[in-house]
A and B are shown apart, each in its own frame.
Chain A
Amino acid sequence: QVQLQESGPGLVKPSETLSLTCTVSGGSISSYYWSWIRQPAGKGLEWIGRIYTSGSTNYNPSLKSRVTMSVDTSKNQFSLKLSSVTAADTAVYYCARDTDPHDAFDIWGQGTMVTVSS
């Protein structure tokens, strides 16, 4: 079955760029939509953005100026870059799949904790 695994640094300095990768295993990354969702400790879920395997993207307007997503179909991976981070960006970051932008997120990664601190 398809599984997702987030990877990347667990600690990022303020003002720097957070970079995460999600690796898709057990199936192809092609023809699906892939999202990043984050959750600060003790708080709710925030959708960050979505990328299709063609490279088309949608971003949360509140983060749009700082977010870049990309996809590498040859590696079955997609990535998130969030620039100019502050402590408010400290959260567990999840990657997730949906088959269509109007569908639900049916598969999630286990999540990776990213702390922004000097």
Chain B
Amino acid sequence: DIQMTQSPSSLSASVGDRVTITCRASQSISSYLNWYQQKPGKAPKLLIYAASSLQSGVPSRFSGSGSGTDFTLTISSLQPEDFATYYCQQSYSTLDSFGQGTKLEIK
């Protein structure tokens, strides 16, 4: 099984800040890495697929990078609506797995 580890688990930041969240896979997953945003009581929403492709309708302040085992999600200038929990997910294996999540809170 492929294990996904996110860091940090939680993060405090201010509106306008640049934020980076990291996801590491236990083995190489090429670019089969996706990022989701989840707000309380809601289903996850796809932000980034294939490591760096922006899902339609997602603001361009979100970006993703990486390949192999190390990946990052960057929010270039935090907006109030960005405070949420973010999950990475590998789709390299037919047995999918998610990171444990990163909760982004207002400082």
The answer to whether A and B assemble together is yes
Enumerate chain A interface residues (CB-CB to B < 8 A): 35, 44-47, 50, 58, 60-61, 94, 98, 101-106, 108-111
Secondary structure class of chain B's binding surface, majority of residues:
loop
Residues of chain A within 8 A (CB-CB) of B87 are 44-45
Bound-state CA distance A32–B36 (Å) is 20
- Do B98 and A45 touch across chains, with their CB atoms under 8 A apart? yes
- With A45-B87, A98-B91 already in contact, the answer to whether A104 and B98 are too (CB < 8 A) is no
* B11 within 8 A of partner (CB): no
Cβ of A39 to closest chain B Cβ, rounded Å: 9
Residues of chain A within 8 A (CB-CB) of B32 are 102
- Do B99 and A105 touch across chains, with their CB atoms under 8 A apart? no
- Do B94 and A44 touch across chains, with their CB atoms under 8 A apart? no
- Do A61 and B1 touch across chains, with their CB atoms under 8 A apart? yes
